[in-house]
Amino acid sequence: MSADIHSEAFIQEAQELLQELESSLLELEEDTENTELIARIFRAMHTIKGSGAMFGFENIAHFVHDIETAYDMVRNGELRVSKPMLDYSFKSCDVIKQMLEDDSIRAEGGEALEIITFFRGCRKDGGAAQVSAPQHKEEKEQEPERTYRIRFEPSENIFLTGTNPAMLLEELQAMGECEIITHITKIPDFEELDPERCYTFWDVILTTSMTENDIRDVFMFVEDESILKIDVIYESGLDEENYRKLGEILVEKGDVSAEALSAVISEKKMIGEMLIEKGLVEQDAVVSALEEQKYIKNLKAKKAATENNTSLRVPSEKLDSLVDLVGELVTVQARLNQTAISMGDSGLSKIAEDVERLVWELRDNTMSIRMLQIGTTFSKYKRLVRDLAKDLGKDIELVTKGEETELDKTVIEKLGDPLVHLVRNSVDHGIELPEDRIAAGKSPRGKITLSAEHSGDSVLIRITDDGKGLDKKVLMKKAVEKGLISESAELSSKEAFELIFLPGFSTAAAVSNISGRGVGMDVVKRNIEALRGTIEIDSTLGKGTEIVLKLPLTLAIIDGLLVRIGEQFFIIPLSMVNECIEFKEALHRTESGRCILKVRDDLIPYLKLRSIFFIPEEEPEIQQIVILDIENNRIGFVVDSVIGDHQTVIKSLGKSFKKVECISGASVLGDGSIALIIDVMKIYNSVG
C-alpha cells in the first residue's frame, strides 16, 4: 500500500480516533446506559470505517462494519451493552492498530474473525443481549432530528486522489433516512468525455440526529477541493407556500436567479413547469427541488454555524528544527549583547536590547508550541490498568487528575516507559486482591490515582495507590539476603524505600509476566534522572504508596546561573538556586573539619566545586557560595565568582563525554566559549 499524503492523514486520524474510542469504552464500562458515550463510540467506528474504505484500507473497513452495526443497534435501543461486548470492543481496537501497521492482516482470519463472529452473533441471537432497557429507548426517541440539504459537487480530479464519491454517499445513507438526487447536466458529449474525470454532482436530503460537523467529517479529506453546502430545512403545511417555497429552493441552490423567478411567479402558473418551458432551469434541477419539497419538515431554512478549524498539523521533525534554530538565535543574541557592551555604543546597545526582547518572546512562543497536555499520556494507562487488573483477578479503578498540565513533547515521549513500570507495579504489588482488601477493612475495589501539577518550572507527577504499602522490615530483609546491605545497617524509612531502586532488587514471591524480576525500578530511576528529574517514594504500611516524579518543563532551553571557577565557566539550573552570598572559608569550617556554613541561624553544608572538578588554579581570596534548594534540603556550592543569569541552550556532550560525572551538558556563550552544565542531582546524591 503506497503511503501517500492522504493515507498518512488517515493513519494519524485513525490513531487519534482509537485513543478517543478506548477512553469512551472505559467510561461506558462504568455507565452502560450512557447514550452520549454510545453515540461517540458509534461515530468513531463509523468514521474509521468510512475513511478506511475511502483511502484503500479495505481490511479495516470490512472489519469495523459489523462492530459499527452492533453499536448502531445499541444506539437505537435494539441491543444492550454487555461485558463480553465491551471486551471484544477493546480487542477490536488492538486489531485495528495492528492493521494500521501491517496491511497484510485480514478480517477473515485469527483474532479479527473471532471478533467479527461475536458481533454478528450479537445481532442475530435472540438472547438477553437484544433486550434493551426501556429508559435507554425513551432517551433515544427524545433525541432531536434535523433534515439537511447537502449539495456536494466534487472536483473533476477527485478520482485521481483515489477517492470514490459513491463511498461518501453510502456513508451519508448510513446516518439516517436519505434521498439522493444525481445531477448529470455537466457530463460532456462522448467525444469530449474523459473517463478519469468526475462530471456528476449530487443533492442529498438527509434526516438524522447527527450534527453538521458529523456530516462534514464524511467529507473531511475532500472538502477543500469540492463545493460542499449544508443547510438545515423544515417542513411546511400550506400548499400556496409550497409553490413559493419550490422557487426559493431553486434560488438558494443557485439553479435560477431571483429576478427570473419573480417574472415567472407573476404568470400564476406551476413554477417548475414554467421555468423549464422558458429554459431558465434544467429539468433535473426542478426534480431535485421537488424531491426536497416533499422532504421538507419546516418552511424556514437556515444555515448551521460551523466553527473554523484553525489547528494545523506539523511534523515533529520541523518543530525540532525550529527549536534548534531558536537555540542558535539565543546564542547569537548573547554575542550581540556582549559586543554592544564591549564597544560602549549606546545605539548598538539599544538594538541589542530590542533583539533580546524579541528573542525571548520567540523562545517562549516556540517552547509553548512544543508543550503538550499530559492527559493524552494518562488516558493510555486506563486501558493498561483494566487489562492487568482483569488478568490478576483484581478490581482496580484508575483516577486521573491534572490532565491539562503541559510538558515538553520530548519529556512526555521519554516519560512513557517509566510510567508504565510504575503503574504496573502499583497494580501488581500495591493493590491487594478483593478478598484481602475486605479482610483488611477496605473496599474490594482498589484505587490508583495518577495526577500532574505545575511546581515552578517543573511538573510533579504522582502515582498514588491505596494498597498494602511498603514494609520497611521486608525490604531490609530482602536487601540483606541479596548482600546489598549488612545485617547491622540502620536505615530510615525513606532510605529503606529507596532500596527498590537498586539493580536486581525485588520483593515478589514469584516471577510473573507482569513484574517480579527486579529489572524495572532501577531503569525507571535512570530514565527519570536522564530527564534531569527526581523520583521519591513515600509509603504507609496498610494504607498505600505514593511515588512523586519531579520533571523539568522542557529539555531544550533553561534559565541558568553562570558561574566561573578558574578559567572555566559552569551553569547551575536557576530553578534550584536560592541565593548567592560572599564566602570566606576560614569563617565557616568547623573544628572537626566539616564544611558548614551558618546563614541567618541556619547551618548549611557546602561543597567546593573546584575540588569536585579538579581545577588546579589558585583560589581567589574572596569567593562566592551559591545556595541551592534540593529536595527540601539546602546545600552550598563554592565558586570563584557569579557572573549572572543566562539563557542556556542545552547541547549534548557527545559519545566521548557520556561517562563524564556531574556534567549533564554544555552551552555556547556569547564569545564562543563553552560553559558546562552542572548535574546538581548527581553531585547531591554522590555526597549523600
Q: What positions carry a catalytic annotation?
A: 46, 68, 425
Q: Which residues make Cβ contacts (< 8 Å) with residue 145, sequence separation at least 6?
A: 176, 207, 208, 209
* Amino acid at site 201: F
Question: In Å, what is the CA distance from 418 to each residue of 421, 509, 631?
Answer: 5, 23, 20
**For the chain, counts of helices (H) and of strands (E):** 22, 22
Query: For cell 511515588, what's the residue?
Result: 547
Smallest Cα–Cα separation from 117: which of 190, 57, 63? 63
DSSP label at residue 303: P
Instruction: Quote the CA–CA distance of 598 and 604 in Å, as a whole number.
Output: 6
Sheet strands side by side (includes 534-540) = 396-401, 446-455, 458-465, 544-552, 534-540
Distance spanning both ends of the chain, measured CA to CA: 57
Contact 455, 550 (CB under 8 A): yes
Instruction: Quote the CA–CA distance of 225 and 213 in Å, as a whole number.
Output: 18
Question: In Å, what is the CA distance from 159 to each residue of 10, 62, 175, 203, 552?
Answer: 17, 22, 24, 19, 49
Contact 340, 351 (CB under 8 A): yes
Instruction: Quote the CA–CA distance of 476 and 489 in Å, as a whole number.
Output: 9
Query: For cell 520567540, what's the residue?
Result: 362
Q: Which residues make Cβ contacts (< 8 Å) with residue 459, sequence separation at least 6?
A: 374, 405, 407, 452, 453, 550, 551, 552, 553
Contact 670, 338 (CB under 8 A): yes
Instruction: Quote the CA–CA distance of 290 and 388 in Å, as a whole number.
Output: 59
Estimate the share of the chain in helix, then strand, then coil, as percent rounded to the nearest 5: 50, 20, 30
DSSP label at residue 427: I
Contact 643, 563 (CB under 8 A): yes
Instruction: Quote the CA–CA distance of 596 and 603 in Å, as a whole number.
Output: 6
Q: Is 124 exposed, middle or buried (0-12, 13-18, 19+ CB in 10 A)?
A: exposed
Q: Which residues make Cβ contacts (< 8 Å) with residue 91, sequence separation at least 6?
A: 111, 115
Pairing of strands 298-302, 557-565: unpaired
Question: In angstroms, how far is CA 660 from the centroid of its own chain?
Answer: 35
Question: In this structure, what are the phi and psi dihedrals at residue 395, rounded to the nearest 5 degrees?
Answer: -115, 110
SS3 sequence of 114-183: HHHHHHHHHHHCCCHHHCCCHHHHHHHHCCCCEEEEEEEECCCCHHHHCCCHHHHHHHHHHHCEEEEEEE
Query: For cell 520541523, what's the residue?
Result: 318
Phi-psi map region of 188: left, alpha, beta (phi>0 left; psi -120 to 50 alpha): beta
Instruction: Quote the CA–CA distance of 439 and 430 in Å, as a whole number.
Output: 16
